[in-house]
């Protein structure tokens, strides 16, 4: 269904830490707008999870307020 999905991630040091950016090219024919909308939503979802992990220092690979599986 998706003919091309090219994802480039750039990470650069800054005075305050690091700056990352993503560039995505999608070709899914007539479905491209829908696939692109999903990719945009999913990217936002992942960013929220990354920020949460960074905020707690990646303790045990999970955010501290998440219950651990037993």
Residue 62 binned pLDDT confidence (cut-offs 50, 70, 90): low
DSSP 2-64: -SEEEEEEEEEEETTEEEEEEEEEEE-GGGHHHHHHHHHHHHHHHHHHHHHHHHTTTGGGS-T
Q: What is the pLDDT of residues 33-47, one digit of tens each?
A: 999 999 999 989 988
Q: For 3-21, how does the pLDDT look when each residue is reduced to its tens digit (9 = 90+)?
A: 999 999 999 999 888 888 8
Name the percent of the chain lying above pLDDT 90: 46
Domain boundaries, the chain: 4-56
């Amino acid at each position: 269904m998706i003919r091309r999905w090219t994802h480039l991630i750039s990470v650069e040091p800054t005075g305050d830490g690091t700056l990352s950016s993503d560039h995505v090219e999608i070709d899914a024919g007539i479905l491209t707008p829908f696939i692109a909308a999903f990719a945009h939503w999913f990217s936002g979802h992942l960013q929220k999870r990354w920020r949460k992990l960074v905020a707690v220092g990646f303790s045990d690979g999970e955010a501290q307020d998440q219950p651990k599986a037993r």
